[in-house]
Amino acid sequence: MISVIIPAYNAAQTLPACLAALQGQTQPPGEIIVVDDGSQDQTAQVARAYGVQLLEQPHQGPAAARNLGIRQARSDIILLTDADCVPEPTWVAEMTHPFADPRVAGVKGSYRTHQQERVARLAQEEFEERYDLLERQATIDFIDSHAAAFRTSVLRESGGFDPAFSQANNEDVDLSYRLAEKGLKLVFNRQAVVYHRHQATWGAYLRLKIKRGYWRMMAYRLHPGKVVRDSYTPQLLKAQLALMYLVLGFVGLAFVFPPLGWGAVAALVGLCLSAIPFIRRATQQDKALGIAALVFIIVRALAFALGVAGGTVGMFFFRPALPHKREG
């Protein structure tokens, strides 16, 4: 039997589409578990209306909600998705068929979107760029929880998600890193698709990436070896982050010694040149999208720079709830 676990917080508007899609699968799951994470809306009533298993807890965040579902699941394989995702009809089948290989411990699926807003389309291109990177690797070290599958025994033996990650942000990164560090085989299946609504405005995208940068530093605190390289993060993105720090640094120094402003100009030019591969990729979809791609790269680099800076301070105060491997 296959279990699907969905953490849900104030998800009454999006949960119906998710549940309808799961109940229309070509390979139906044996059980669908919605974990209501202390919602203040009609989330619980929606779950009951669809006849799925409902678990309820005080608001603790998605990591704790998934862990409750993992403890209650009655299957050998657990699939995870989010309440604002709509799986394709073949999603369950695509997520589970890699487990025919007994060495596989976890499977990652992919995002798509129907949105036509420029920022959302660029966000999708960002995902597609990363998917190209993942497809070139026999094993991966990152499975995000919007489209994830694991052997139940693996999740339980690992302790599941660390509830110290109180937001829906990098708790799946931490879990993936822990499993990969144990030598477990994690794989990517691009055909296991869920549809999602990405951020559609520049401001929303900026805020999301600041949070991503912040919480990624919490994961790096626990897994410092991943700072250098992981299977999901393009190395060019790290170079763009470094260039943005140079831009900001030289701008600040230019107030004291104005000629250093040229250093900021040089770093910004380097950042723009580094965006050429992404601009080319976006232009293949739409010429107007290609023009916006440069702004997208600059906004992303700025957001990550701010988030990483904040996270570098914040990680010294972060206290994981699960035991983790430590340096030294």
Q: Kindly report, residue by residue over 107-153, the tens digit of the pLDDT.
A: 999 999 999 999 999 999 999 999 999 999 999 999 999 999 999 99
pLDDT digit string, tens, across residues 6-17: 999 999 999 999
Q: Which of 29, 173, 22 is nearest to 83 (CA)?
A: 22
Residue type, position 57, single letter: Q
Residues 326, 224: Cα–Cα separation, whole Å: 9
Q: Which of 132, 130, 128, 86 is nearest to 289 (CA)?
A: 128
The band of 327, judged by pLDDT with boundaries at 50, 70 and 90, is: very low
Percent of the chain at pLDDT > 70 equals: 99
β-sheet bridge partners, residue 33: 5, 53
- pTM over the 0.85 mark: yes
pLDDT digit string, tens, across residues 229-247: 999 999 999 999 999 999 9
Domains and CATH numbers, the chain: 2-200 (3.90.550.10), 235-317 (no CATH)
Residues 8, 14: Cα–Cα separation, whole Å: 10
Q: Residue 221 has what pLDDT?
A: 95
Q: Which of 126, 300, 121 is nearest to 206 (CA)?
A: 300
Average pLDDT of the segment spanning 303-319: 96
Residues 198, 201: Cα–Cα separation, whole Å: 9
pLDDT beyond 80 at 29? yes
Residues 208, 222: Cα–Cα separation, whole Å: 22
- List, edge to edge, every strand of the sheet that includes 2-8: 53-57, 31-37, 2-8, 77-81, 147-151, 104-112, 185-195, 86-87
C-alpha distances in Å from residue 317, one per residue of 125, 173, 274, 275, 310: 35, 19, 34, 35, 12
Q: Residue 38 has what pLDDT?
A: 97
- For 228-262, b/e burial (b = at least 16 CB within 10 A) is eebbbbeeebeebbbbbbbbbebbeebeeeeeeee
Average pLDDT of the segment spanning 270-298: 95
Place of tokens 């993942």: 134
Measured in whole angstroms, how far is the alpha carbon of residue 228 from the centre of its chain? 19
Side-chain half-sphere CA neighbours of 152 within 13 A: 16
Residues with Cβ < 8 Å from 283, sequence gap 6 or more?
Answer: 289, 290, 293
Place of tokens 């900021």: 264
Longest distance between any two alpha carbons in the chain, whole Å? 68
C-alpha distances in Å from residue 226, one per residue of 122, 148, 180: 26, 20, 11
Cα dihedral 321, 206, 121, 272 sign: negative
Helix (H) / strand (E) containing 110: strand 104-112
Ranges of beta strands (E only) in 196-270 are none
Q: Residue 196 has what pLDDT?
A: 97
SS3 call for 142 = coil
- Strands 2-8, 185-195: pairing is unpaired
